[in-house]
């Protein structure tokens, strides 16, 4: 499968993209993140405007947010490892701590030059995951920065790429499906070697002659409830206008246009959906898969 644009799908409105970038333009990685491992392979450059992670045969690297969040709209622009990135994984996710942790995952599985990356998504609640959906992207994610977003509110989680929703995980506690809503999460990212499984199930190994492999980040924005000292910066069940310049995300759902975009992605670019993998669940598909 090759990268291509599609005439079936309308281009994003330039104004919407411009507003997103403007909202994030004030971010400074020095203020928002700590590089947590990699022995110098992670770097904050350009006066805090760009963060890079690198991987070589000795080690990868990673960072985490200074803040914890309990609900929010999180945006980050990434430019992925170019060229032959087989065996590498760039992970970008939210996660809490403990044995019954919650987690919301983007993982980008590297591939041979010319082949598309696989975007792997997953949702963990109370330590239980196994909710993978995988996609090809409709562009080459290594030639420029693209915006990867997580909208997380009490009703739903929406994964988006350049403001195009690719996946929605709804709160279905009413049918016994746990939903991440009580544990604050930090933002994490790492670039690491996973050539035992990442590319074609581990058949294609990392070519270390191509190292160091580097991924780049910019324009972080969190319109979110910050968790500190056991309390949320959002004082009530929804953020007030005094704590957020734009709190629509707290009750946001997809309108008909967004739903059409979601369907377009899932019909044309989804390559794996746990909800259709009957062999994996011989006792029956998970409860959330049975809901329309």
Residues marked active site are found at: 103, 107
Specify whether the CB–CB gap between 73 and 223 falls below 8 A: yes
Alpha helices in 75-181 (DSSP H): none
Residue 193's Cβ-side half-sphere holds a number of Cα atoms within 13 Å equal to 18
Q: How far apart are CA 237 and CA 108, in angstroms?
A: 34
* Distance between CA atoms of residues 278 and 172, nearest Å: 21
Are 95 and 101 in contact by the 8 Å Cβ rule? The answer is: yes
16-21: list long-range contacts, CB under 8 Å, 24+ apart: 16/163, 17/147, 17/162, 17/163, 20/75, 20/147, 20/163, 20/221, 21/147, 21/219
Q: Which residues of 224-234 are buried (b: 16+ CB within 10 A; e: fewer)?
A: bbbbeeeebeb
Backbone angles phi, psi at 260, to 5 degrees: -65, -40
Q: b/e string for 117-145 if b means 16 or more Cβ within 10 A?
A: bbbbbbbbbeeeeebbbbbbbbebbbeeb
């Amino acid at each position: 499968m090759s990268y291509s644009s599609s005439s079936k799908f309308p281009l994003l409105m330039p104004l919407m993209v411009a507003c997103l970038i403007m909202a994030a333009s004030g971010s400074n990685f020095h203020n928002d993140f700590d590089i947590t491992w990699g022995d110098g392979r992670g770097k904050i450059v350009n006066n805090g405007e760009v963060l890079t992670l690198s991987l070589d045969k000795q080690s990868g690297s990673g960072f985490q947010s200074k803040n914890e969040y309990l609900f929010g709209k999180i945006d980050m622009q990434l430019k992925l490892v170019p060229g032959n990135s087989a065996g590498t994984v760039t992970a970008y996710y939210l996660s809490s701590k403990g044995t019954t942790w919650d987690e919301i995952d983007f993982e980008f599985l590297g591939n041979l030059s010319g082949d598309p990356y696989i975007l792997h998504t997953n949702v963990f609640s109370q330590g239980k995951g196994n909710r993978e959906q995988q996609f090809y992207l409709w562009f080459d994610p290594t030639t420029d920065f693209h915006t990867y977003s997580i909208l997380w509110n009490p009703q739903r989680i929406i994964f988006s790429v350049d403001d195009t929703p690719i996946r929605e995980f709804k709160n279905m506690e009413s049918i016994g499906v746990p939903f991440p809503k009580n544990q604050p999460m930090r933002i994490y990212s790492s670039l690491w070697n996973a050539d035992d499984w990442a590319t074609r199930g581990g058949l294609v190994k990392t070519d270390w002659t191509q190292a160091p492999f580097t991924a780049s980040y910019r324009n972080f924005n969190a319109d979110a409830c910050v968790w500190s000292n056991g309390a949320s910066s959002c004082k009530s069940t929804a953020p007030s206008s005094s704590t957020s310049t734009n709190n629509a995300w707290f009750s946001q759902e997809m309108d008909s246009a967004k739903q059409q975009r979601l369907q377009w992605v899932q019909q044309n670019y989804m390559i794996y959906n746990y909800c259709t993998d009957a062999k994996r669940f011989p006792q029956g598909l998970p409860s959330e898969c049975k809901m329309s």
